[in-house]
Homo-oligomer: A and B are copies of this chain.
Amino acid sequence: MARTTGSHSDITGPRVRAAALKLFARHGFAAVSMRQIATEVGVQAGALYNYTPDKQTLLFELMRDHMDELLVAVQDDPNAPVLQRLEHFVRFHIGFHSERPDAVFIAYMELRNLDAENFARIEVLRSQYEAVLQRILRDGAAARSFDVADPKIAAWAVIAMLTGVNTWFRDGGRLSLDDVQDQYWNMVRRMVGTV
């Protein structure tokens, strides 16, 4: 036996995913060819197929990995004060998403390029994330800490608003991440009618 450890696949594999992530985010899944990804990695197109069975799976796994990371990272303590839980969620969402703009972009833009089965899988993960915020809003409404007519819609509204940050926020711009988190937390706090 030879070449089991220290083989290049440990290096090339991540580089393939990184190149795909970058190019898909920049130009869109359908507009990027396997040869473009290969060139970015510094390899021939055929070599990519050591790391993914096909282009569709490459996209799906990028999205799934992103959603998995998101679900692991979001943490909600049901025993904490509900206002604090909401603040934590808002700051977390902005912070987490601002650190991986490419993955976020792909996760929101390339859903329609997934086949039906993969689409359904991603949708499950997305719903699980939304459910975290819905739970917070429902608990807050039940405790009369919040005044939200429809927690589902309020959750969608908050998430859309927070995710929108990624369209303009750039590190080193006019506002620091902290500034942005403060401002959005302020807006969300009012939005849910905190009493």
Binding site for B on A (CB under 8 A): 26-31, 109, 112-113, 149-150, 153-154, 156-161, 163-164, 167-168, 175, 180, 183-184, 186-188, 190-193
CB-based contact A28/B113 at 8 Å: yes
Contacts of A184 in B (CB 8 A): 157
Expressed in whole angstroms, the minimum distance between the Cβ of A164 and any Cβ of chain B is 3
Report how far A163 CA is from B164 CA in the complex, Å: 10
A28: chain B residues at CB < 8 Å are 28-30, 112-113
Chain B contacts for A188, CB-based, 8 A: 191
Q: A156-B168, A187-B191, A193-B190 are in contact. Are A113 and B31 (CB under 8 A)?
A: yes
**Chain B residue with minimal CB distance to A159?**
B164
Q: Are B187 and A154 in contact (CB-based, < 8 A)? A: yes
Kindly list 20 other residue pairs between chains A and B, CB separation below 8 angstroms, not including A153-B175, A157-B187. Answer: A26-B112, A27-B112, A28-B29, A28-B112, A31-B113, A109-B109, A149-B183, A149-B186, A156-B168, A157-B164, A158-B161, A159-B164, A160-B164, A160-B167, A161-B161, A161-B164, A187-B191, A190-B192, A190-B193, A191-B191
Cα–Cα, bound, A193→B193 (Å):
10
Q: Which residue of B lies closest to A182 (CB)?
A: B149
* A36 CB, nearest partner CB in chain B, Å: 12
User: Can you give 25 A-B contacts (C-beta < 8 A)?
Assistant: A27-B30, A27-B112, A27-B113, A28-B113, A30-B30, A31-B113, A109-B109, A149-B183, A149-B186, A150-B175, A150-B183, A153-B180, A156-B167, A156-B168, A157-B161, A157-B187, A158-B161, A160-B160, A160-B161, A160-B164, A161-B161, A187-B191, A188-B191, A190-B191, A190-B193
Contact among B30, B154, B163, B191 for A160, CB-based, below 8 A: B163
Tell me, in angstroms, the Cα distance from A188 to B112 when the chains sit together. Answer: 30
